[in-house]
Structure 1
Amino acid sequence: MTTDSKPAWDVLGAAAAQAGVETEGAQLIRDGSNVMYRLPGGVVARIGRPGTADTARREVETATWLASQGIPAVKVVAELAQLVVVAERPVTWWRLLPPHRPAIPAELATVLKAVHSLDVPIRPELPLHNPFVDIAARIRAATSISVDDREWLLQRLDQLQADYHQLKTTEGRFVLHGDAWQGNVAVPENGQPILLDLEAFSIGPKQWDLVQIAVDYTDFARLTDADYKSFVTTYGDDDITETPEFRTFADIQELRWVAFAASKAADSPNAAREARHRIACLQGEESRPWTWSAL
C-alpha cells in the first residue's frame, strides 16, 4: 500500500485506538501523498507522511479559518482530538463529503478568486510558497529510473530554479491553495463548491493557482477552448498563458508531476512506465499535447 516506514493501516489502527474512533469496515479512499480512509459515522481519516505533523496541524487550522471567512471547505470532526501522531505520521479526522462531482473550470475560478481575495492571516501562519519542495529528494530517491535520466532531471531542476528566481512575479503575496485543480473542489448536488486538500495553503504569487489548469489546456489538451475561456473570464484576470513567465511556471509544475511519478515507480510497474513516459515527454521525445495517466 504505502512505502513509508509504518504501513498506513497499522497507523490508522493505533491512531483510532487513541482517539476512540471505530475502524471496522474502513475503506481506502486514496493512497497518495496522504492516505485516506472512510470510517463509520461519516468520518474520514487522513494519514500524512512521516515528519509532516506541522503541516497536518496547519491544515486543521486552515479549515477552521476558512470557515470563519465564509469560504466552504472540508470540515474537521470537532468532537475528536485532532492530530494523533503514530510512528511520526500525523492522523487527522474529517467529515465525509456529501455526494459530489468535481468542479468545472468556471467553478474552480470562482473559488480561487475568493481565496486570492483573502487578507493574509496571522493564524494560521501560512508558509511562503516553495514550488521546488520535495522535487530533488524525490528524483534522487527514484531508484527505478536510469542514472542518466536522474542526472538530467536534476540539471533541469537547477535551471528552473535559476529561471524562477529571476521572475518579478514571484514577489506576489496572495493566499494560495497550492494545488488548484477541479478535483480539489467538490460540488454537491445542492450546495456551494467545497474546497479540499488544504495542506498546501501558502503565501505567494497567484500564478501558482492558475498555472495548473492553464497547463492542462496548453500542454495536455484536457480542456476545450470554451472551458479554458470560461475559467479566465470568471477569474477576471489576464490569461497566464499569454504572459512571459508562463513557460517557467508551467515547466516547474510539470517537473513536479514527473518527480511524483518517479517517487512511486519503485513499488508500482504502472508508475514506473508512467515515469519513463513523462521523462521522455520533457526530453522532447514526445510532442505536445501529451497524455499522462493519473497515479
Structure 2
Amino acid sequence: MTTNLTTADGVLSTAARIAGLDSRGAELIRDGSNVMYRLAGDVVARIGRPGSEVAAHREVLVSEWLTSAGLPVVQALADVQQPVVVSGRPVTWWALLPAHRPATPAELGSVLRSFHALSTPEISGLPTHDPFANLDQRITEASEIDHDDRTWLRRHLTQLRLRYRQLGLDGPRKIIHGDAWQGNVAVPDSGPPILLDLEMVSIGHIEWDLIQIAVDYTDFARLEVGEYRSFVSEYGGYDLTSVSGYRTFADIQELRWVCFALSKAGVRRDAATQVRHRIACIRGDLPRPWTWDAI
C-alpha cells in the first residue's frame, strides 16, 4: 500500500519507520500548527510545519541544553534520529509527560526566574527575538477583513514599531522562552514543574516572557490581584506593568494575538469571528477588560 505523504498520518508512518519506531495505533493529541501523536512506549511524535526543519532541530538542542543545565524540561528522545524529515515536514520524538496540570502564576514566575538566570547557550542558529515577526505578512494576506480594518492595522503596526524603537531598550539580552504562559509549564502530580513548547526560544529582552501574563491581568481580568502579585514575587519582584514602556509591550502583544487569529480566519469560522471582535477591541471600540476566546 502506498503511503499518502500529504497527510499527517502518512508523514508519521514514514517517519516512524525511518526512526525505527512503531506508529501502529498512534493516538492524535493535537492538530494545530504542529500535529502531535502518542505512540506506543510513551513516545510523542511532533510533526512540524513544512520547511521548519531548522527550528525543529533547534528545539531538540534546547531540550538537551536545559536538561544539562538542570532545569526540568520536556525530554527529546536520545538515540533516535532527530528530526526525521518527510515531505518537508520535520518529525521529532519526545517522552510523554506524566499526568499534570497547568502552572499557577506563581509557578510560572518561579520557572521563568530560573530560566532567565541561565547563561546564553552555545546553540548554533539561536535566533534573535523579533516581536514583529510575520505581522506584515498576516495583515497583507488576511482574507477576512475589509479595506478599512487592513489600513488601520497597517498604520497601527507602523506606529508600534516607532514606539518600540523609542523605548531605547538598553538592558542585556537573555535567553527567553518566547511563549511564556501557564499552559506551557506542566506541573506533575509529583515532581517539579516542566517547561514545554521550545519552538520560540530565542535571544531577546525578558519583558517578552513577562508580557502575556501581565496583559492577562491588566487588560483581560483573567487574573486576580493576588495571582498576579504572586507571579511578580516568585519571578523576583520585577513588575512589568509598572514600567514606563508597559503599554507599548502590551499593545504589540495584543496585535500579535489579533494577527494569529487572522492567520486562522480563512479556514475557521470561530477565528473569523474573533478577528472582528479583537480588532474592535484594539481599535478602542470596546472598553477593557476584554474577553477573547482561545483559538
* TM-score (norm. length: structure 1): 0.94
Quick one: structure 1 residues 13 and 149, their matched pair in 2 at CA, closer, same or farther if it must change by over 3 Å?
Answer: farther
Q: When the two structures are aligned, how many residues end up with a matched partner?
A: 291
Partners of 1:280 and 1:31 lie apart in 2 by: 29
Structure-to-structure mapping, 1:1-295, within 5 angstroms: 6-169=6-169, 171-295=171-295
Partners of 1:179 and 1:226 lie apart in 2 by: 23
Contact persistence 1:164–1:170 (CA under 8 A): no
Deviations 1:9-36 (A, max 9, x none): 3322222232232222222222233221
Deviation at 1:264, TM superposition (A): 0.7
Deviation at 1:139, TM superposition (A): 2.1
Deviations 1:35-79 (A, max 9, x none): 212222111111111211111111100000000000000001113
Quick one: structure 1 residues 150 and 40, their matched pair in 2 at CA, closer, same or farther if it must change by over 3 Å?
Answer: farther
Three-state SS of the structure 2 residue aligned to 1:44 is strand
Structure 2 unpaired stretches of 5+: none
Quick one: structure 1 residues 145 and 56, their matched pair in 2 at CA, closer, same or farther if it must change by over 3 Å?
Answer: same
Partners of 2:108 and 2:13 lie apart in 1 by: 35
Quick one: structure 1 residues 206 and 190, their matched pair in 2 at CA, closer, same or farther if it must change by over 3 Å?
Answer: same
Partners of 1:6 and 1:263 lie apart in 2 by: 21
Report the more deviating stretch, 27-36 or 128-137: 27-36
Report the more deviating stretch, 21-30 or 180-189: 21-30
Contact persistence 1:261–1:274 (CA under 8 A): yes
Structure 1 unpaired stretches of 5+: none
The RMSD of aligned alpha carbons is 1.6
Deviation at 1:104, TM superposition (A): 0.3
Report the more deviating stretch, 56-65 or 31-40: 31-40
Contact persistence 1:83–1:90 (CA under 8 A): yes
Three-state SS of the structure 2 residue aligned to 1:217 is helix
